[in-house]
């Protein structure tokens, strides 16, 4: 297969007259729009994190793209719904893949049940508005326009109907890849990840349907910053999967509407970055900046097993607003590359003197809320656990040995008279022993209501093979009063 590809590349290089190339990178070329276009194909479109197959056609082709705008209510986070405006039914919109020199015949359809007019501005278009003018359509209408993919690169597309910011903030963005003439080098996996932020009427995690908040958008204060359209859309069970030794190419976009992403993969170094999605290649990059309405292509080889966290390293966005996706790498350890945990003391880079835990800083809810049933507590507890605890104690409560203590069958937890209420409300600091392992770390106090604390603890006591039982909001309240 590889020799076959190589053969094609050679043929291609010979076939493209006037095309010169250096040893490292082909010289940048803009396609001559007068070149002949042969035949036509219907574009394969995919939802994130999937990417359409590599383009094998070696001549300029007419590529027909059919994209439907759909306004629909979907999950933004557990228990949180939002009315998204989408290109193709998901956020981000469908991934479009064409080759430099192709003639793209674009059909945009506005579903008849939609409330609003929409259009599309593709940054890959050389022409007024990137197609925006030609594609403005009322619900129940379709528009068609064609453009020549003159420049290679990874381009953002988005809706550009007034108010533009609101259309983008509601999820109307996606990526179109214009592959270079010679094609991108083969890799084992290609994935599509796109960051975007949401401005909701309620704050992060507030349950129920959330409206768009224009003032927050103008102030650039998002409640959610997410990868692939929702908290957890491409993590946990939905994580991307690869094997040790395989190479990965990420097509990474940032829809914005406002924030610039400090894109980083925890546990990896980008061997190659196509800076800003263009033809300039940088090597050995830790964090690459992706502007709103911009992109980057990053490549790396997965040398060791584990989970890679793709984050916006403007880091509160990752851990407090949802900007996190995961790639799970499975396979054999390679201790020549990474040893895993070796038995050493835990070192706290920031030191306990800096990170202080103040007493009773957590907020006390003033509104009386009716006590929930056991079932209600378990249900609420699950999503609260995911939002507040899972980042350290992990999905299944196993923690990370030596760093974050496990909650599963925890002798430490079960021995406490307060059922753990004090830990959540005040945080915990210093050396403890859990199931025979020493931990010396800091857990900050978590700002939650009595009701929420009761649900989380009920969940932990029952879900993770502990002593069971129901923790009531009243228990939390009386604990606070004792303090």
Partner 1 sequence: MIRYLGSWILAGLILSGVGLSAQEDMSLIPAGSYTPFIKGITEEVEVEGFLLDKYAVTNADFLEFVKANPDWSPENVKSLFADSGYLTHWPVNYLNDKDLESNMEPVVNVSWFAANAYCKWKGKRLPTLHEWEYAALALPKNDSDSAALTRINSDWYSRKTAVHAKVGSTYENQYGVWDMYGLVWEWVDNFNTVISNEDSRNNEDAPQGLFCGSASLNASDASDYVAFIRFAYRGSLKANYTTRKMGFRCAKTIK
Q: Does 74 bind partner 1 (CB under 8 A)?
A: no
Q: Which stretch in 156-164, 174-182, 332-340, 407-415 sits in contact with partner 1 by CB under 8 A?
A: 156-164
> What string of H, E and C letters represents the secondary structure of 159-228?
CCCCCHHHHHHCCCEEEEEEECCCCCCCCCEEEEEEEEEECECCCCCCCEEECECHHHHHHCCCCEEEEC
140 binds partner 1 (CB under 8 A): yes
Per CB under 8 A, 26 contacts partner 1: no
Q: Is the dihedral of CA 197, 198, 199, 202 positive or negative?
A: negative
The DSSP string of 300-366 is EE--S-EEEEEEESSTHHHHHS--EEEEEEES---TTT-----S-----TT-TTTS---TT-SPPP-
Our CB check for partner 1 shows the closer of 60 and 200 to be 200
> Residue from 5, 50, 57, 83 that binds partner 1 (CB under 8 A)?
83
Closer to partner 1 at the Cβ: 122 or 250?
A: 122
Of 116 and 470, the one with the shorter C-beta distance to partner 1 is 116
**What single-letter DSSP state applies at residue 151?**
S
Which stretch in 41-49, 184-192, 207-215, 436-444 sits in contact with partner 1 by CB under 8 A? 207-215
Would you count residue 480 as binding partner 1 (CB under 8 A)? Answer: no
CB of 194 to partner 1, least distance (A): 21
137 belongs to the binding site for partner 1 (CB under 8 A): yes
Site for partner 1 contains 116 (CB under 8 A): yes
Please, which residue, 119 or 295, has the CB nearer to partner 1? 119
Put the strands of the sheet holding 306-312 in their side by side order. 240-243, 324-330, 306-312, 261-266, 287-290
- Total count of residues recorded for the chain: 483
CB of 224 within 8 A of CB of 198?
Answer: yes
Here the contacts of 454-458 (C-beta below 8 Å, separation 24 or greater) are 454/372, 454/377, 455/372, 455/376, 455/377, 455/378, 455/380, 455/381, 455/384, 456/381, 456/384, 456/385, 456/388, 456/389, 456/424, 457/381, 457/419, 457/420, 457/421, 457/424, 458/374, 458/377, 458/378, 458/381
- Which H helix or E strand runs over 83? strand 80-87
142 binds partner 1 (CB under 8 A): no
Q: Do 252 and 290 meet the contact criterion of CB atoms below 8 Å apart?
A: yes
Interface mask (CB under 8 A) for partner 1, residues 164-183, using x and -?
x-x-----------------
Nearer to partner 1, 113 or 411 (CB): 113
Nearer to partner 1, 202 or 305 (CB): 202
Residue from 30, 41, 218, 400 in contact with partner 1 (CB under 8 A): 218
CB 277 within 8 A of CB 153: yes
91 lines the binding site for partner 1 (CB under 8 A): no
Restricting to residues 239-278, which ones interact with partner 1 according to CB under 8 A? none
Establish if 433 lies at the interface with partner 1 (CB under 8 A): no
- Position 214 contacts partner 1 (CB under 8 A): yes
Should residue 139 be labelled a site residue for partner 1 when binding is judged by CB under 8 A?
Answer: yes
Using CB under 8 A as the binding criterion, the count of chain residues that bind partner 1 stands at 32
Q: Which is nearer to partner 1, 119 or 452 (CB)?
A: 119
Q: Is 163 in the site for partner 1 (CB under 8 A)?
A: yes
Shortest reach from residue 11's CB to partner 1, in Å: 42
Q: Which is nearer to partner 1, 137 or 423 (CB)?
A: 137
The pairing of beta strand 142-148 with beta strand 103-110 = antiparallel
* Beta carbon of residue 213, minimum distance to partner 1 (angstroms, whole number): 9
Residues whose CB is less than 8 angstroms from the CB of residue 418 and which lie 6 or more positions away in sequence, other chains included: 479
Binding residue for partner 1, selected from 32, 188, 206, 211, defined by CB under 8 A: 211
Instruction: Report the interface residues with partner 1, using CB under 8 A.
Output: 71, 73, 83, 112-113, 115-117, 119, 121, 128-129, 132-133, 136-141, 160-164, 166, 209, 211-212, 214-215, 218
């Amino acid at each position: 297969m590889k020799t076959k590809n190589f053969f094609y590349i050679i043929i291609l290089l010979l076939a493209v007259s006037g095309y010169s190339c250096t040893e490292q990178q082909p010289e940048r070329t803009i396609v001559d729009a007068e070149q002949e276009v042969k035949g036509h194909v219907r574009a394969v479109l995919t939802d994130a994190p999937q990417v359409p197959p590599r383009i094998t056609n070696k001549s300029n082709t007419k590529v027909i793209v059919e994209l439907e705008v759909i306004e629909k209510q979907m999950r933004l986070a557990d228990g949180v719904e939002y009315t998204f405006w989408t290109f193709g039914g998901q956020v981000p919109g469908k991934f479009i893949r064409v080759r430099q020199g192709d003639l793209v015949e674009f059909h945009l359809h506005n579903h008849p049940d939609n409330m609003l007019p929409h259009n599309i501005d593709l940054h890959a278009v050389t022409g007024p508005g990137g197609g925006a003018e030609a594609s403005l359509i009322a619900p129940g209408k379709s528009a068609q326009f064609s453009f020549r993919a003159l420049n290679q690169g990874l381009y953002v597309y988005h809706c550009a109907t007034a108010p533009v910011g609101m259309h983008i903030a509601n999820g109307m963005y996606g990526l179109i890849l214009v592959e270079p003439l010679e094609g991108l080098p083969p890799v084992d996996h290609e994935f599509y990840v796109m960051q975007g932020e949401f401005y909701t009427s309620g704050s992060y995690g507030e349950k129920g349907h959330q409206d768009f908040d224009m003032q927050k958008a103008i102030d650039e204060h998002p409640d959610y910053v997410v990868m692939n359209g929702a908290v957890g859309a491409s993590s946990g069970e939905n994580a991307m999967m690869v094997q040790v030794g395989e190479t990965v190419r990420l097509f990474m976009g940032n829809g914005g509407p406002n924030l610039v992403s400090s894109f980083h993969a925890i546990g990896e170094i980008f061997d190659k970055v196509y800076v800003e999605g263009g033809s300039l290649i940088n090597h050995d990059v830790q964090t690459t900046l992706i502007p709103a309405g911009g992109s980057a292509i990053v490549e790396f080889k997965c040398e060791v097993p584990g989970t890679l966290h793709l984050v916006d390293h403007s880091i509160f966005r990752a851990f407090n607003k949802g900007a996190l996706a995961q790639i799970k790498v499975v396979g054999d350890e390679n201790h020549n590359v990474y040893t895993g945990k070796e038995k050493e003391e835990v070192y706290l880079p920031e030191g306990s003197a800096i990170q202080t835990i103040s007493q009773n800083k957590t907020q006390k809810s003033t509104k009386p809320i009716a006590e929930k049933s056991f079932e209600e507590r378990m249900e609420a507890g699950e999503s609260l656990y995911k939002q507040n605890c899972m980042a350290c104690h992990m999905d299944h409560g196993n923690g990370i040995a030596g760093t974050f203590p496990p909650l599963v069958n925890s002798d430490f937890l079960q021995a406490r008279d307060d059922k753990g209420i004090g830990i959540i409300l005040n945080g915990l600091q210093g050396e403890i022993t859990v199931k025979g392992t020493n931990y010396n770390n800091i857990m900050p106090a978590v700002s939650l209501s009595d009701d929420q604390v009761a649900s989380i603890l009920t969940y932990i006591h029952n879900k993770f093979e502990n002593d069971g039982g129901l923790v009531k909001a009243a228990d939390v309240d009386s604990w606070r009063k004792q303090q």
